[in-house]
Chain A
């Protein structure tokens, strides 16, 4: 094993920023600090990144971890091609995908996930896990996620569990007939 050199760290950071920018395109959020480059700040509140998309993707249980570096490099390559095609000037101090303005990140992700793109399944998977961090906090126990104010579950209004960590809804029905039954309904509840 060779110790990490500063270059390795920079490469690692650049890849993380890239994956954050991708996740932020799927579920956008507010910038974490004024100079935040990975998060575009396209929507108020926490987005996929604040919800834990990188923690989820870096967890080997997803099966995504080994391929992440390759995906980060690949999407940066696509960003360079995209920028060249549109004549966009990219800030070289950040990875190319991060350098794209939000609307262009969005347009590029649309291309990559569209039917017919040869790498579509990878980009859809990356989108799926980015979204999963937000809508279900799949890297955390759901009870703990709610307790700690997880941005996705909180924004969605996911109900709090009972003290034993189980969900129960004692009131669950309007408890009155709300439509006529189909005239062919039989005693089993099916159509005859």
Chain B
């Protein structure tokens, strides 16, 4: 009961965030019979709401967040469906060597029970649920084709990237970051979330969780603010919900902040909460293509007299060069190079003019470069960084002090790249240059880190799993050390940069965590069982993981 006599709302499981980690948890728990409430800080939009418009206040700024920190800016989703609504739907699995990485801690960073073989059945479950599909060369956009041809010209291989896009519906408009109007991108709005709702889960948009406290019966009280639907700087109320178990999946830029703010109420947090953040080693290079050389050297022609001039056409990334993902190479020297579209608004300011004297990112020469925008090709590097991000004390509310009514805010993340990270970027820059400047195809330059530091669209590892309590916040079942009944299933649980797009791995880890979380809820007296099929009823993924489930459920009476 609250002080004014009004009963505090009760639920079995409270899920914070509705991105991959939250949606997967909400689905399995609701399908198993638990009462589930999902609190999502952003709005609930769907196909008809997704605009083709850069006007501030359109879906582009409503569903997308840009949080500038000290040395690292984090871009992510801010809506029901989270990252899945704004992402580019690239769904590769992490290469085998990633699971053996040692990083800065001198020992394997991943829990002993997880390697690529152990995760593959869970990858299969996710691939079935979303679904993730391999792509043919017919599905590859002009920019992806150009990147493939340039790689081939330089003696490299190149692969169409598996994606979660229905190609029959896709019009290659490249407005994916604003949400897909044509329902071609198979976001969580088409799989786990509607299935969770069908099983009785409640999703509340514009509810931003601030912190957790304890209840007398060993559960948790979740404290939230209601956010204004147009001006996210404005709070329209607040409230609490009590739950037996809490799943925190607010994204790697927000999950540690909620836990930090909970510390005065819950007691000390594990050392690794808000530390070991990884930006997935991300960095962009922009090439300005020489259209004549594209035709002469690569023999490309769109059939209408143009060789390329197609930067705007497509669906985010479609082709990657994975030649540098070689497990035999030393750690910090492995990376992927993926063609990418980055929309205007935030996607041109940091691009540097190849070969120009200072200033490289604004001024006369930059304007000339913008005038050749159709001939741009952006290459997205994902290297092995050093988990060097650290969150400062939490801001008054949310995970940032909001500047604009939507999208733009100041966060507390600091990131000072180590020599390992800087060398990784240097190697990847050199590889881009070698491939794209060969035979005069293009001029290339990396985006500058001077104005805002590094940036990432794939924040990871700020509350990670592991076997070592000193360097991991979660045990191998994703339970927060020292705080039984709190689980973390989003990108913050991933131990390190993955050298590929992480959505598939975040989701596979969340799927793998579910038997243990369902078990924890059941032990608190809730009648709930694990074993739901894929959201559309398919069962082949479930069949593949069946034998693994007993290993993920805590043995009876096991003390932590």
Which residues of A line the B interface, CB within 8 A? 25-28, 42-43, 47, 59-64, 106, 109-110, 113-115, 120-121, 124-125, 127-128, 131-132, 134-143, 152, 155-159, 161, 165-183, 185, 187-192
B137 adjacent to A28 (CB under 8 Å): no
Report if B370 contacts A (CB, 8 A). yes
B152 adjacent to A141 (CB under 8 Å): no
A181 adjacent to B362 (CB under 8 Å): no
> Do A172 and B314 contact each other (CB < 8 Å), given the known contacts A63-B408, A187-B134?
yes
A-B contact pairs, 15 of them (CB 8 A): A64-B403, A106-B363, A136-B343, A138-B56, A141-B53, A158-B373, A167-B171, A169-B171, A172-B313, A174-B149, A180-B152, A182-B157, A189-B135, A189-B159, A190-B500
B54 CB contact (under 8 Å) in A61, A137, A182: A137
Interface centre among A25, A173, A180, A181 (most CB of B within 10 A): A173
Report the stretch among B80-88, B172-180, B260-268 that lies at the interface. B172-180
Task: Give every chain B residue within 8 A of A127 (Cβ-Cβ).
Answer: 349, 362, 451
Report if B271 contacts A (CB, 8 A). no
> Do A61 and B405 contact each other (CB < 8 Å), given the known contacts A172-B313, A173-B141, A174-B140?
yes
Q: List 4 tightest A-B contacts by C-beta distance, closest first.
A: A189-B134, A189-B162, A179-B158, A172-B172
Q: Given the complex of chains A and B, what is the CA–CA distance between A106 and B450 in angstroms?
A: 16
> Do A172 and B142 contact each other (CB < 8 Å), given the known contacts A106-B363, A158-B312, A177-B137?
yes
Task: Give every chain A residue within 8 A of B132 (Cβ-Cβ).
Answer: 188-189
Task: Give every chain A residue within 8 A of B469 (Cβ-Cβ).
Answer: none
Q: Quick one: closest B residue to A60, CB to CB? A: B405
A26 adjacent to B92 (CB under 8 Å): no
- What is the interface size of chain B, counting residues whose CB is below 8 A from a CB of the partner? 88
Q: Quick one: closest B residue to A134, CB to CB? A: B370
Q: Quick one: closest B residue to A190, CB to CB? A: B93
7 more A-B contacts (CB under 8 A) besides A179-B158, A189-B162? A61-B404, A64-B403, A128-B349, A131-B348, A171-B304, A175-B137, A179-B148
B56 adjacent to A59 (CB under 8 Å): yes
Task: Give every chain B residue within 8 A of A190 (Cβ-Cβ).
Answer: 92-93, 162, 500, 504
> Do A188 and B162 contact each other (CB < 8 Å), given the known contacts A165-B52, A174-B302, A179-B148?
yes
- Shortest Cβ distance from residue B100 to the other chain A in the assembled complex, whole angstroms: 15
Q: Quick one: closest A residue to B230, CB to CB? A: A61
> Do A142 and B322 contact each other (CB < 8 Å), given the known contacts A110-B358, A131-B349, A190-B92?
no
Q: Quick one: closest A residue to B116, CB to CB? A: A192
Task: Give every chain A residue within 8 A of B123 (Cβ-Cβ).
Answer: 188
Task: Give every chain A residue within 8 A of B345 (Cβ-Cβ).
Answer: 132, 135-136, 138
Report if B292 contacts A (CB, 8 A). no
B312 CB contact (under 8 Å) in A59, A114, A120, A159: A159
Q: Quick one: closest A residue to B71, CB to CB? A: A115
**Interface 0/1 of B111-149, CB less than 8 Å to A:** 000000000000100010000111101111110010011
Task: Give every chain A residue within 8 A of B310 (Cβ-Cβ).
Answer: 172
> Do A172 and B141 contact each other (CB < 8 Å), given the known contacts A124-B452, A179-B152?
yes
Which residues 296-348 of B sit at the A interface, judged by CB distance below 8 A?
300, 302-304, 309-310, 312-314, 319, 322-323, 325, 343-348
Which residues 398-427 of B sit at the A interface, judged by CB distance below 8 A?
402-406, 408, 410
Task: Give every chain B residue within 8 A of A25 (Cβ-Cβ).
Answer: 362-363
B149 adjacent to A178 (CB under 8 Å): yes
B57 adjacent to A61 (CB under 8 Å): yes
A135 adjacent to B402 (CB under 8 Å): no
A121 adjacent to B68 (CB under 8 Å): yes
Task: Give every chain A residue within 8 A of B348 (Cβ-Cβ).
Answer: 131, 135
A178 adjacent to B145 (CB under 8 Å): yes
Q: Quick one: closest B residue to A130, CB to CB? A: B362
Task: Give every chain B residue within 8 A of A165 (Cβ-Cβ).
Answer: 52
Report if B95 contacts A (CB, 8 A). yes
Task: Give every chain B residue within 8 A of A120 (Cβ-Cβ).
Answer: 451
Which residues 141-200 of B sit at the A interface, judged by CB distance below 8 A?
141-142, 145, 148-149, 151-152, 156-162, 171-175, 181
Q: Quick one: closest A residue to B151, CB to CB? A: A179
Which residues 68-102 of B sit at the A interface, judged by CB distance below 8 A?
68, 92-93, 95-96
Q: Quick one: closest B residue to A145, CB to CB? A: B54
Task: Give every chain A residue within 8 A of B68 (Cβ-Cβ).
Answer: 121
Q: Given the complex of chains A and B, what is the CA–CA distance between A166 and B157 in angstroms?
A: 35
B152 adjacent to A135 (CB under 8 Å): no
- Shortest Cβ distance from residue A26 to the other chain B in the assembled complex, whole angstroms: 5
Q: Given the complex of chains A and B, what is the CA–CA distance between A155 and B142 in angstroms?
A: 21
A110 adjacent to B92 (CB under 8 Å): no
Q: Given the complex of chains A and B, what is the CA–CA distance between A61 and B127 in angstroms?
A: 40
Interface centre among B151, B152, B171, B367 (most CB of A within 10 A): B367
> Do A43 and B364 contact each other (CB < 8 Å), given the known contacts A156-B371, A169-B171, A188-B127?
yes
A181 adjacent to B159 (CB under 8 Å): yes
Q: Quick one: closest B residue to A124, CB to CB? A: B451
Report if B366 contacts A (CB, 8 A). yes
A189 adjacent to B362 (CB under 8 Å): no
Task: Give every chain A residue within 8 A of B347 (Cβ-Cβ).
Answer: 135
Task: Give every chain B residue within 8 A of A59 (Cβ-Cβ).
Answer: 56
- Shortest Cβ distance from residue A184 to the other chain B in the assembled complex, whole angstroms: 8
Report if B359 contacts A (CB, 8 A). yes
Task: Give every chain A residue within 8 A of B524 (Cβ-Cβ).
Answer: none
Task: Give every chain B residue within 8 A of A172 (Cβ-Cβ).
Answer: 141-142, 172, 310, 313-314
A182 CB contact (under 8 Å) in B145, B159, B450: B159
Task: Give every chain B residue within 8 A of A142 (Cβ-Cβ).
Answer: 52-55
Q: Given the complex of chains A and B, what is the CA–CA distance between A115 and B71 in angstroms?
A: 10
Q: Given the complex of chains A and B, what is the CA–CA distance between A67 and B123 in angstroms?
A: 49
Report if B554 contacts A (CB, 8 A). no
- Shortest Cβ distance from residue A67 to the other chain B in the assembled complex, whole angstroms: 10
A179 adjacent to B363 (CB under 8 Å): no
- Shortest Cβ distance from residue B312 to the other chain A in the assembled complex, whole angstroms: 6
B313 CB contact (under 8 Å) in A61, A109, A124, A169: A169
- Shortest Cβ distance from residue B157 to the other chain A in the assembled complex, whole angstroms: 5
Q: Given the complex of chains A and B, what is the CA–CA distance between A125 and B374 in angstroms?
A: 26
B137 adjacent to A143 (CB under 8 Å): no
Task: Give every chain B residue within 8 A of A114 (Cβ-Cβ).
Answer: 450
A179 adjacent to B156 (CB under 8 Å): yes
- Shortest Cβ distance from residue A123 to the other chain B in the assembled complex, whole angstroms: 9
A109 adjacent to B403 (CB under 8 Å): no
A156 adjacent to B373 (CB under 8 Å): yes
A173 adjacent to B138 (CB under 8 Å): yes
Task: Give every chain A residue within 8 A of B92 (Cβ-Cβ).
Answer: 189-191
Interface centre among A47, A152, A169 (most CB of B within 10 A): A169
Task: Give every chain A residue within 8 A of B370 (Cβ-Cβ).
Answer: 27, 134-135, 152, 155-156
